[in-house]
Amino acid sequence: MRLLAGSLVASYYATLLALAVYGWHRFYLLYLFYRHAPKRPRPPATIEPLPPVTVQLPIYNERYVVDRLIRAACALDYPVDRLEIQILDDSTDDTSRIAAAVAGEMRRRGHDVRHMRRGHRRGFKAGALAEGLARARGELIAVFDADFVPAPSFLLDLVHYFTHPRVGMVQARWGHLNRDYSLLTRLESIFLDGHFVIEHAARCGGGRFFNFNGTAGIWRRDCIVSSGGWQSDTLTEDLDLSYRAQLKGWQFVFASEVVVPAELPADIDAFKSQQHRWALGSIETARKILPAILRARLPRGVKIEALFHLTSNAGYFLMLLLSILIVPAMAIRRAAGLELLLLVDLPLFLLSTVSVSVFYLRAQRAVRDDWAATLRDLPLLMALGIGLALNNAGAVLGLARGRRSEFVRTPKHDLRGTLGDWRRKRYRSRRARLWTALEVLFAAYFTVAVVFAVRERLLASLPIVLLFQIGFLYTSLLSLARAAGGRSSEADSSTSAGLAEAAGKAG
């Protein structure tokens, strides 16, 4: 029993220390950001003549936003004879009819719009992009997901970066059409702003590898082809291709001043599904790419940053492990009269939480005048990150079991500002009841832990267990409220039916 107790406490501190290291990495990104902030990239010259551009619009069951997407693409300020629009349509519902009608209207107005149907979903988004690329006429390839609304100036804002012959990709910053729709969307926007404003700027300015985000960016066609093209063996084909391209010596640019707004998931289950896919895809990419990076003749700083970047979602597995260990470790130390060890917990945990707070506050300060208002959201922001631990750790564990997942799209509902009601729309994400039940159990588990910490006066542990309790309560109660408001309908039933139909046709 003593050996078991000692092992539990040792595992707890090892996990807490590993999380603190990832927390320290946030400070390192802030260091890179501040050091290189004055050196924002600028186009070295002006391209003359303007190169032909193909805009790819990969869609799958996007009836609420496909019209807006196609019109926004056709409204791009670029010579019509040098602009091609590809609608890469794998839809199984009336999205295809809507897309065909809008495409026909745009062609009558003089735009080169091609509505391309594969009749299957092999390779999912990567497969659609690859097939479109084989038929594209552009030297540069811009990609927009269905919920993005580029400004007319987008292409002219970014195209001149390609005057440098080794620039392979230019990424714009994501904005948010419905940031203030709900507390959840506000928290999501803070997460994404941190990723773009700090992470991308720090990695780009510091000469580290960073990634195309699947949309709102432009690729040089030669860069895609010479790097092995779009591949579908991971769920994050954008991250995978980005690292392969930079290993080939291509340079990437982050144009932070160009912002393309998009819709944030207002449905907690859609958000969890999106996060699960991103977590699984990044770990798949790490398994595929990291060995080549570590063998490559690259500066040590580039390799270390790539290691942190590609394994960052392993932090959710560590968070889940900490969730399981924290209460037994707390009880063991109390029973053994080792309460002073609890004083070690708080500094280690603060290294993670304070770094997260400073990281996201700095990002908000860069993009919002009312950034100080973010202070009120920080506790829930950290709690939400903890609440996602079970959801995202499941992705890591699924990969460890060798399980392959299909690409599950995030439903879009044309939500803008505070307007719109996703609950009345056909597309709904499906959430396994088991995951929600486990989140409820974790919330109950930490409620008991809070009571225990208060009763035993373990005040050093109380902030930690409170954050875990709030996090699992928040995510589980949102999922329960969502389930009570109505069951999933067309979106996922059509997904299953569409996949079955596609598989039948392929067979």
pLDDT of residue 405: 64
Mean pLDDT calculated for residue range 187-202:
96
At 302 the pLDDT is 97
CB 29 within 8 A of CB 116: no
In a domain, 300, yes or no: yes
Q: State how far the Cα of 245 lies from the Cα of 224, in Å rounded to an integer.
A: 7
CA angle 131, 137, 138 (to 5 degrees): 105
Same domain, 221 and 140: yes
Look at residue 39 and tell me if it is in a domain: no
- Tracing tokens 């004879």 back to the chain, one arrives at 81
Name residue 15's amino acid: T
CATH of the domain at 248: 3.90.550.10
Question: Do 63 and 27 sit in the same domain of this protein?
Answer: no
3-state class (DSSP) for residue 261: strand
Q: Please report where in the chains the tokens 């290291």 appear, as a residue.
A: 21
Task: Please check whether residues 137 and 212 belong to one and the same domain.
Answer: yes
Domain final residue pick, 258, 281, 311: 311
End-to-end CA distance of the chain, in Å?
57
Residue 360, pLDDT score: 94
User: Which pLDDT tens digit goes with each residue over 226-261?
Assistant: 999 999 999 999 999 999 999 999 999 999 999 999
Q: Cβ contacts of residue 99 below 8 Å, gap of 6+? A: 59, 66, 70, 87, 89, 91, 115
- Both 347 and 252 in a single domain? no
**With 60 as the cut, is the pLDDT of residue 499 above it?**
no
Q: How many CB atoms lie within 10 A of CB 456?
A: 13
Does residue 12 or residue 114 have the better pLDDT?
114
**Tens of pLDDT along 318-339?**
999 999 998 888 888 777 665 5
The string of DSSP letters for 87-150 reads EEE--SSTHHHHHHHHHHHHHHTT-EEEEEE-SS-TTHHHHHHHHHHHH---SEEEE--TTB--
> In this structure, is residue 287 part of a structural domain?
yes
Q: Would you state the pLDDT for residue 498?
A: 37
| Alpha helices in 165-252, H assignment, sequence order | 183-193, 201-205, 221-226, 237-247
One domain for residues 292 and 321 = no
In a domain, 278, yes or no: yes
Task: Looking at the structure, tell me whether residues 280 and 211 fall in a common domain.
Answer: yes
Domain C-terminal end among 311, 339, 373: 311
| Strand order across the beta sheet in which 53-59 lies | 112-117, 83-89, 53-59, 140-143, 217-220, 167-176, 251-262
Q: Is 264 helix (H, G, I), strand (E, B) or coil?
A: coil
Residues 275, 386, single domain; the answer is no
pLDDT of residue 327: 86
Could you list the active site residues? 90, 238
- Residue 406 in tokens: 């299909």
User: Mean pLDDT over residues 134-143, rounded?
Assistant: 97
Residue 37 belongs to some domain of the structure? no
d(CA 100, CA 93): 12
Taking residues 361-372, report their average pLDDT: 90
- Cβ neighbours for 479, distance < 8 A, ≥ 6 positions apart: 268, 269, 272, 431, 436, 439
Instruction: Check: CB of residue 164 under 8 Å from CB of residue 251.
Output: yes
Secondary structure percentages of the chain, helix, strand, coil, to 5: 60, 10, 25
Q: Is residue 494 pLDDT above 50, yes or no?
A: no
Does position 507 have pLDDT exceeding 50, yes or no?
no
- Give yes or no for a contact between 262 and 216, defined as CB atoms under 8 angstroms apart: yes
For residues 120 and 493, give the distance between their C-alpha atoms in angstroms, rounded to a whole number: 17
321 and 280, same domain (yes or no):
no
State the total domains in the chain: 2
The segment with the largest mean pLDDT, out of 2-16, 65-79, 337-351, 461-475, is 65-79
Q: State which residues form the domain around 121.
A: 45-311
Tell whether 264 and 322 lie within a shared domain: no
**Above 60 in pLDDT, residue 443?**
yes
Please report where in the chains the tokens 């702003």 appear, as a residue. Answer: 193
Residue 399 CA from chain centroid, whole number: 18
Average pLDDT over residues 391-412: 73
- What value does the mean pLDDT take over residues 399-407? 62
Report the pLDDT averaged over residues 360-365: 94
Q: Average pLDDT in the 438-442 region?
A: 93
More confident residue, 397 or 248: 248
CA angle at 268 for the pair 450 and 382, rounded to the nearest 5°: 45
Helices 378-387 and 314-335: angle between axes, nearest 10 degrees = 100
Residue range 30-35: mean pLDDT, rounded: 94
- Least confident interval from 210-214, 223-227, 370-374: 370-374
| Residue of 405, 353, 401 lying closest to 378 (CA atoms) | 353
144, part of any domain? yes
Task: Check if the beta carbon of residue 136 is closer than 8 Å to that of residue 218.
Answer: no
Same domain, 297 and 414: no
Sign of the C-alpha dihedral computed for residues 132, 412, 272 and 117 taken in this order:
negative
How confident is the model over 445-469, as a mean pLDDT? Answer: 87
pLDDT above 80: residue 428: no
pLDDT tens by residue, 283-313: 999 999 999 999 999 999 999 999 999 999 9
Residue 498: inside a domain: no
Q: How far apart are CA 429 and CA 492, in angstroms?
A: 6
pLDDT of residue 252: 98
CA dihedral of residues 395, 287, 29, 248 (deg, nearest 10): -140
pLDDT-based confidence at 503, cuts 50/70/90?
very low
Considering the chain, what percentage of its residues have pLDDT values greater than 70? 91
Residue 255: per-residue pLDDT: 96
Which tens digit of pLDDT belongs to each residue from 42-73? 888 899 899 999 999 999 999 999 999 999 99
Clarify whether residues 14 and 64 are in a common domain. Answer: no
Residues 172 and 296 occupy one common structural domain: yes
Domain contains 502: no
Percentage of residues in the chain with pLDDT exceeding 90?
63
Residue 207 pLDDT exceeds 50: yes
Interstrand relation of 167-176 and 83-89 (parallel, antiparallel or unpaired) = unpaired
